[in-house]
């Protein structure tokens, strides 16, 4: 006769105690993650400027939306502030990573750019010095960024890119995706060079900066998302800056994005800007 050994089944009371312990551990993990997300959201919220500078003939507006999952808190950000020489600086960027560390590093990038811009207003030099400053902090993170300087006296917009998504410029002649030359993201290599592109905002139009969460997702390749934004900006370049920013950020819903997303709009009338 063959006898089969069987593992004794624990009594129901012991199974319930085991289930309770496992459930408790799961709940502790969920609460910890929720606390980390809440902290990152608050960090990010306090890092974004409460308002953006503007001028006669220049409207500015921005939008930010968090990741759709509610867990992957990223480091997308935007900024705008006056420079000592009377010009205006604007920036938009995206920090690698989706956690509290990324949100904190985003704050360091934003603060570093503001500090450097007090010493030089050339966008390429600002990015170069900020890059070396971030590397001196010995962080493993990096950030893409576009930095702009607008001179109201000349109507010139100078911009420089550090591995960031191209901007879109819409005028009566249509919209253009601006694949300007740029350098590596901030925090990768020391002494990186960042070329500067100069444009005069002599006619009515809209200069739109975005992060990749707006134009790239599971259902949209980057090129398709950029084309959609260009189509929208080309048709709505004359719209109010706030309305245009809301319409552009809505493109993120089409992509099925899981990342956070940010938009910065400079709506210009062609001058004069003083």
DSSP output for 152-198: TTTTEEEEEEEBPPPEEEEETTEEEEE----BPPBTSSTT-----EE
- Per residue in 243-266, pLDDT tens? 999 999 999 888 776 678 899 999
Residue 2 has pLDDT above 90, yes or no: no
Average pLDDT over residues 101-112: 82
Q: Residue 271: phi, psi to the nearest 5?
A: 90, 170
The answer to whether the CB of 197 falls within 8 A of the CB of 159 is yes
Cis peptide before 109 (omega within 30 of 0): no
pTM: 0.83
Cα distance between residue 261 and residue 249, in whole Å: 7
pLDDT band at 168, cuts 50/70/90?
very high
User: Mean pLDDT score of the chain, rounded to an integer?
Assistant: 86
Residue 220 has pLDDT above 90, yes or no: no
Among 229, 221, 220, 217, smallest CA distance to 170 is for 229
Instruction: Choose the weakest-confidence range: 97-106, 114-123, 159-168, 221-230.
Output: 97-106
pLDDT of residue 129: 97
Average pLDDT over residues 19-24: 65
Name which residue leads in pLDDT, 15 or 160.
Answer: 160
Partnered with residue 163 across adjacent β-strands are: 145
User: Encoding tokens for residue 209?
Assistant: 């900066």
Cα distance between residue 126 and residue 53, in whole Å: 19
Residue 150 has pLDDT above 90, yes or no: yes
């Amino acid at each position: 006769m063959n006898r089969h050994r069987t593992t004794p089944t624990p009594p129901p009371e012991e199974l319930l105690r085991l289930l309770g312990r496992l459930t408790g551990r799961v709940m502790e993990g969920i609460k910890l993650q929720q606390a980390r997300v809440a902290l990152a959201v608050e960090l990010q919220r306090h890092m974004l400027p409460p308002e953006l500078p503007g001028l006669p003939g220049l409207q500015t507006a921005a939008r930010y939306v968090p990741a759709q999952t509610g867990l992957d808190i990223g480091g997308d950000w935007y900024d705008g502030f006056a420079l000592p020489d009377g010009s205006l600086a604007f920036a938009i960027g995206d920090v690698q990573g989706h956690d509290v560390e990324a949100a904190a590093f985003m704050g360091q990038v934003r603060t570093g750019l503001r500090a450097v811009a007090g010493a030089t207003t050339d966008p390429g030099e600002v990015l170069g010095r900020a890059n070396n400053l971030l590397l001196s902090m010995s962080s493993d993170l990096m950030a893409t960024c576009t930095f702009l300087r607008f001179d109201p006296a000349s109507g010139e917009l100078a911009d420089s890119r550090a591995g960031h998504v191209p901007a879109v410029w819409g005028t009566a002649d249509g919209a253009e995706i601006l694949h300007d030359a740029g350098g590596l993201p901030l925090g990768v290599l020391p002494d990186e060079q960042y070329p500067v592109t100069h444009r005069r905002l002599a006619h009515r139009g809209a200069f739109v900066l975005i992060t990749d969460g707006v134009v790239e997702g599971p259902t949209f390749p980057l090129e398709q998302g950029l084309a959609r934004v260009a189509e929208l900006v080309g048709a709505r370049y004359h719209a109010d800056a706030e309305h245009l920013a809301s319409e552009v950020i809505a493109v993120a819903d089409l992509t099925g994005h899981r990342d956070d997303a940010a938009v910065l709009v400079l709506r210009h009338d062609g001058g004069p800007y003083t």
